[in-house]
Amino acid sequence: MRRMSRYDLTDSEWRVIEPLLPNKPRGVPRVDDRRVLNGIFWVLRSGAPWRDLPERYGPRTTCYNRFVRWRKAGVWDRLMDAITKAHDSRLQMIDTSIVRVHQQGASAKRGIEIIVSVVPEAG
């Protein structure tokens, strides 16, 4: 039995994702898609650099190259479209690459005390 890590896909998640993956056999057979995806998700969820990818996910170059190739081929977009369609708008995701900090919050200096005040609603 395979030991699961914190960021690994569950069996039910894998059953949803597996049929959506590209399966054109050409050249050398691909290594285990699930292991590679678990490695990609480990990096994305942990925020760690690719060089820190644990060995159990295989070579970091394999995971990184697959991530980049699938991004260029639109595989990730198709996966997200299929997953959101399957959840019938009950699933909401926020892409933090578009979330911005107010300019004053981004340039705060160390040592400055920020006071938060709450004014009770009149009534």
Please give the full DSSP string across the chain, using - where no structure is assigned: -PPPPTTSPPHHHHHHHGGGS-----SSPPP-HHHHHHHHHHHHHH---GGG--GGG--HHHHHHHHHHHHHHTHHHHHHHHHHHHTTT------TTS----HHHHTPPTTPPP----PPPP-
Higher pLDDT pick, 44 / 122? 44
Predicted pLDDT at 6: 77
Residue 107 binned pLDDT confidence (cut-offs 50, 70, 90): low
1, pLDDT greater than 50: no
Q: Average of pLDDT values for 65-75?
A: 92
pTM passes above 0.85:
no
In tens, the pLDDT along 20-66 reads: 888 877 777 788 899 999 999 999 988 899 999 999 999 999 999 99
Domain map (residue ranges) of the chain = 11-98
